[in-house]
Amino acid sequence: MVKIKMYPAKEGDAFLISFGNDNSTNIIIDMGLEETYQSFIKPDLIELKESGKKIDLLIVSHVDNDHICGAIEFIKENKDNNTVIQVGEVWHNSYRHLKFDKVDEVLEREEKLVLKQIREQNTPPSSTDGLSEIKIDEGITLAGLLYKYNYNWNVSLNEKAVLISEQELTISTNVRVKVISPSVNKLNSLAIKWKEKLESEKYGFILNNDIIFDDAYEQYMKHSNHSSEVNEIAKNEDKLTFYELKNKKGKDRSVTNGSSIAVILESEDVKLLFLADAHEDLIYEELKKLNDSGYELNFDFVKLSHHGSNNNISNRILSLISARKYMISTNGKYSHPDLATIAKIVDNDRHAKIITNYNHDKVLEFNNKYFDGIGEFTVTVLNELVFE
C-alpha cells in the first residue's frame, strides 16, 4: 500500500508518502510554508513518531519559499534530529553543491561583510506567522540548520549534489528512487547567478567552504528576482478555443525552478512521479531517454511541475507518459493552474483524473464550456490518496 498526503500548502508543495500497510517507509517531498508545517505536517509527524516510525528521506526540491520555508521551521524545531521525529537523510542542493573553484584561503574582512549584508538584506524582520523573531546569528537557513544539527545531508550521494542518475537509489527494502532533475547545467545556472552577484560586490571574490556562503546564497536566491519566474498571468484564457489552449506554449526561465529535484518513486507495483518546479526541457529529455531504454512510463500518480503552469508542461511530455492520477498543488495564486495545462492533459487523455488540493472554479467552467458539463475527465479536490 502507498498513501500520499497532499497538504494544503497554499501556492506551494508539501507531500508525505508512506509505504507499506504499517507506514514502514516515509518520504517527505517539500514542506510548503511555515504554517503548512505547523498546522498540517507537524501533527502527522508526531503521530508517526508515537507509532515508532521515522522520516526515511526528506527531499527539499529547491530554495523557493513555497517549498523550503516549512522545512526550515521543521528543522528548527527538530533540532538534533529527534525532538519532533527522526530523519534518516535530507536531500537538498545548496552552495556547497555548486561547482566552483574553491580555494583554501581565509575570506577578507570586506568579503565577510558583503556576505553578511547579503544575508541580512534578504532576511525578513520576523517570521510570516508572527510567532517568533528571526535572529540573524541563529542559523536561519536550511543549510545553516543542517550544518548546526549535523543531519545526514546527501549522504547517499557521497555528500555531493543530487543530480540526474541512471542508477536507482534504494531507500528501504521496498522503495526505490530515480532522480530525473536537475542536471549539471541547471545547477551551473544557479552558480553563474551567484558568482555574478558576488563579482558585482567585489572583483575577484574569494570562494571557499565557509558556512556563511551557504547562508548568504540561500537567502539571496530565495528572495531575489532569480528565485521565481516573472509569472505570466493567464490573460484572456477564457477567450481561447480549446485548440488554442492545448497548443499554447511557454517557457520557465527561473534558475531556481530549473534546479528542482524531481524523482520517480517505485514500490512493488506502484510508480509515482514528482516533478517539483522542474523545467520542461529537462524532464522531456530524461523521460525520453527512459522510454527509449524500455522503461515503462506508466505512472499511478504524477505531480505536475510548478503548480500546473503551462510553462512547465507540454504535449510532448504528456504523449510519453500515462497516469492514473494527475496532481496539481496550488491554491490558485499566480493564476495557477493554467487552463492550457488542463487542455493539454485532457487532449492527451480524455478520461484523465485530475486531483487538486484546493477547489478551482475556473477548471469547472472550463469543463462546462468545452465539454458541455459532461466531460469524460474529472477534477477532484483531495488531500489524501491511497494505492493498494
Three-class DSSP category at 319: helix
Q: What is the pLDDT of residues 65-110, one digit of tens each?
A: 999 999 999 999 999 999 999 999 999 999 989 888 888 899 999 9
Mean pLDDT of 184-190: 93
Which residues, other chains included, contact 363 with Cβ-Cβ below 8 Å and sequence gap of 6+?
Answer: 337, 339, 342, 354, 356, 379
Query: How does DSSP classify residue 239?
Result: G
The helix or strand, by DSSP H or E, that contains position 381, with its residue range, turns out to be strand 378-381
* pLDDT band (50, 70, 90) for residue 281: very high
At residue 128, does pLDDT exceed 80? no
Burial class (CB in 10 A: 0-12, 13-18, 19+), 199: exposed
- pLDDT at residue 234 greater than cutoff 80: no
Q: Which residue has the higher pLDDT, 209 or 50?
A: 50
pLDDT score of 25 more than 90: yes
Query: What is the chain's mean pLDDT, rounded?
Result: 90
Task: Work out the average pLDDT over 17-21.
Answer: 93
Query: How high is the pLDDT of residue 174?
Result: 87
Residue 129: its pLDDT value, please? 43
Lowest mean pLDDT, pick from 45-59, 124-138, 248-262: 124-138
Q: Which residue has the higher pLDDT, 224 or 189?
A: 189
For residues 40-49, give the mean pLDDT: 97
The mean per-residue pLDDT over the stretch 371-376 comes to: 64
- Give me the pLDDT at residue 111, please: 92
| AA identity, residue 143 | A
| Whole-number CA gyration radius for the chain | 21
Domain boundaries, the chain: 2-387
Neighbour-count burial of 361, counting CB atoms closer than 10 A to its CB (0-12 exposed, 13-18 middle, 19+ buried):
exposed
What would be the CATH architecture of the domain defined by 2-387?
Answer: 4-Layer Sandwich (3.60)
Say yes or no to pLDDT of 138 above 80: no
> Could you report how far apart the first and last alpha carbons of the chain are, in Å?
4
The pTM is what?
0.93
For range 245-255, the mean pLDDT: 93
User: In whole angstroms, what separates CA 244 from the centre of its chain?
Assistant: 29
Where do we find the cell 534546479? 259
pLDDT tens digits, 155-178: 999 999 999 998 899 998 889 999
Q: What is the pLDDT of residue 159?
A: 93
pLDDT, residue 360, reads 93
pLDDT band at 120 (very low <50, low <70, confident <90, very high): confident
Average pLDDT over residues 49-64: 96
Region 295-304: mean pLDDT is 97
- For the cut 90, the answer to whether the pLDDT of residue 233 exceeds it is no
What's residue 375's pLDDT? Answer: 61
pLDDT value at residue 147? 92
**DSSP H helical segments within the chain, as ranges?**
34-36, 42-50, 65-78, 109-121, 142-148, 184-201, 211-223, 242-246, 255-258, 280-292, 315-320, 339-348, 361-371
* pLDDT above 70 for 224: no
**Span 314-370, pLDDT tens digits:** 999 999 999 999 999 999 988 899 999 999 999 999 899 999 999 999 988 888 888
The band of 127, judged by pLDDT with boundaries at 50, 70 and 90, is very low
